Amino acid sequence: MISKTAIALPLAASLLEQVNAFSLHRHQHAADKRDNVVWHTVFETVYVTAGAESPAETQQAFVQDSQPANAANAAVVTVDATPSQAPAAAAPAPAQTTLSTAVKPALSIPGLDGILPTKASSSSAPSSTALGFAKQGIAYNDVSMAKSFGKACGERCGWYYNWGSSSGGLDSGAEYIPMLWGPLDVHTSHWDSDAEKALSNGAKAMLSFNEPDMPSQANLSPDAAAKDHAKYFSKYKGRAQIGSPAVSNSNLAGQGIKWLESFVTACSSTPDCHFDFCAVHWYADANAQNTLFDHLEKAKVACQGKAIWLTEFAPINPPTDTVAISKFIKDVIPQLDSLDYLHAYSYFMVAQPALMDSTTGLSTIGKAYAAIAN
């Protein structure tokens, strides 16, 4: 990775160190209560040398299990390389053969019937999975925005999640997927009660830890994650599809797909450790969309043929770059829908200024994701 040479706003020494180390991430865990949370958004643009496996991630951070403050007051930091450091050309597009011949693994669980889709907001038919809901999801932290986006998106958007285990008040019938962010008391103390409530409301899947491969996130070794995953998810085997811990697309040693490979190995030798699909994240420049599909292919191999969920993805371009981001979304969504082994995906995220331009109105980018003509 080429080092950054210009910083738009001052950064604390510790933050700069993490940026240069390619390990800072969007989510910052804290045990603060909802009304003590400060929402902040950080965007990073990083140019990488030719042949690098994965570009750096976007820097959007929020406190898990918390209500964000008004995003209009969010602090924004941009880190850029000089023009001379930009790559000469975009990486070549991925080969289409592997994408077109992928086979979806069988998923058949007694009692997990599909749900009826809501009214469509677009003429295009949503892509659905064996679990019975549309692939395209809504990642949110503000439930009122999630409801507004869900109404606009209609049947294209089939499921919701918020990095927590309680929906915060979604309408009945919404396919809410609970997540255990990490094996910390602030999350585990209410995990079982929330999980049971989600299951009683019809949840067909569960998500495990958030980026344990990243020091700024759940931060667990593969062995420790396998043990904790077994502890908190084994009781739900057969009652819902269970996801692996979600990994980043970092290419540093012991992170990203490498961490996932180690987790799969550790889980196979850990009593009661079970997962039905693997969850991954992706962030890079909009022009590097080919690396998204490379990342998904590598995840499929690491997950030994099980289904993949892309629970976070977005270009690292600033939200003002609406043309590039909207084009990215319109380009990749049909490809994501066509991948049989990809059972779910969700863009990061239903919030201002990403997919929303107000508490109730979709942004230009949001309209692209919801397949609404501008």
Amino acid (one-letter) located at 38: V
Report the alpha-carbon distance of residue 103 to residue 18 in Å, rounded: 38
- Residue 373's pLDDT is 72
221 pLDDT higher than 60: yes
Strand order in the sheet with 78-80: 6-7, 78-80, 43-44
Secondary structure letter of residue 8 according to DSSP? S
Report the alpha-carbon distance of residue 266 to residue 252 in Å, rounded: 20
The number of helix segments (H) and strand segments (E) in the chain equals 10, 13
* Mean pLDDT, rounded, for 35-48: 34
* Mean pLDDT, rounded, for 157-174: 96
- Least confident range of 108-117, 130-139, 257-266, 338-347: 108-117
User: What are the Cα distances from residue 282, in Å, to 54, 110, 211, 321?
Assistant: 9, 32, 11, 18
DSSP helix/strand/coil, 121 = coil
- Least confident range of 113-127, 174-188, 289-303: 113-127
* Percent above pLDDT 90 for the chain: 63
What's the chain's average pLDDT? Answer: 74
- Residue 125's pLDDT is 52
18 pLDDT higher than 70: no
Tally the residues of the chain.
Answer: 374
Among 351, 278, 314, 369, CA closest to 40 = 351
Q: Sorting pLDDT into bands at 50, 70 and 90, what band is 146? A: very high
Whose tokens are 């007694």? That residue is: 110
User: What is the CA 349 to chain-centroid distance, rounded?
Assistant: 9
Q: What DSSP string describes 188-201? A: HTTHHHHHHHHHHT
* Mean pLDDT, rounded, for 70-93: 31
Comparison of pLDDT for 197 and 110, the residue scoring more? 197
Q: Sorting pLDDT into bands at 50, 70 and 90, what band is 131? A: confident
Q: What DSSP string describes 148-197? A: HHHHHHGGGEEEEE-SSSS-SSPPTT--B--B---SSHHHHTTHHHHHHH
- Which tokens belong to 137? 């999801």
Q: Sorting pLDDT into bands at 50, 70 and 90, what band is 119? A: very low
38 pLDDT higher than 80: no
11 pLDDT higher than 50: no
